[in-house]
Amino acid sequence: KPIYVLNGPNLNLLGTREPEIYGRATLADIEKACAERAAQLGRTVVFRQSNIEGELVDWLQEARDKAAAVVLNAGAYTHTSVALHDAIKAIGIPVIETHLSNPAAREEFRHVSLVGQAAKGVIAGFGATSYLLAVEAAALIAQESQT
Ligand code: DQA
């Protein structure tokens, strides 16, 4: 099964959005790098972005049957979304919370993660490399649990 890499609001603007915080890689660059890393690990990725909370909920539900594991950068919904928290709990497959920046080192409103309170683990602060580490973690965890 593939690894789902799901991206939340404003991540479509990567490359031009606050590059001093998020780097210069575009989401398309990150998608390509994730696909390459997954291929090295014998996996494929399904890579998506939405600004709409409910769409992310739909994709998490879809992942329950279709994905081996999920890499989720929920953007700002990380800090607010009970719906994403509940969806992660509901699907029962490993979800890895992922961020380009390190929210713990930023504004106080980013210190709470409702996603993280349901996720298997968190990778944050390494820029685009966070995604590659998360894909790797997802592949290893999926292999262990044979999903
Ligand atoms: C982010 C961190 C969030 O706090 C922020 O709202 C984002 C991006 C990150 O990848 O660093 O949109 O998820």
Q: Tens of pLDDT along 78-132?
A: 999 999 999 999 999 999 999 999 999 999 999 999 999 999 999 999 999 999 9
pLDDT at 147: 67
- pLDDT for 140 equals 96
Classify domain 3-145 at the CATH class level: alpha beta
Q: What's the predicted TM-score (pTM) here?
A: 0.97
43 lines ligand 1 (CB under 6 A): no
Type of residue found at 75: G
Could you read off the pLDDT of 23-52 as tens digits, one per residue? 999 999 999 999 999 999 999 999 999 999
Q: What percent of the chain has pLDDT over 90?
A: 97
User: Rounded to an integer, what distance in angstroms lies between the CA atom of residue 94 and that of residue 147?
Assistant: 10
Please choose from 13, 18, 56, 78 the residue to mutate so as to test ligand 1's pocket, defined by most ligand atoms within 8 A of CB: 78
Q: Does 27 contact ligand 1 (Cβ within 6 A)?
A: no
Residue nearest to atom 8 of ligand 1 (CA): 75
**Domain boundary assignment for the chain:** 3-145
Which numbered atom of ligand 1 lies nearest the CA of 74? 13
Query: Complex ipTM above 0.95?
Result: yes
Closest-lying ligand 1 atom to the alpha carbon of residue 76: 6
* Residue 36, helix vs strand vs coil: helix
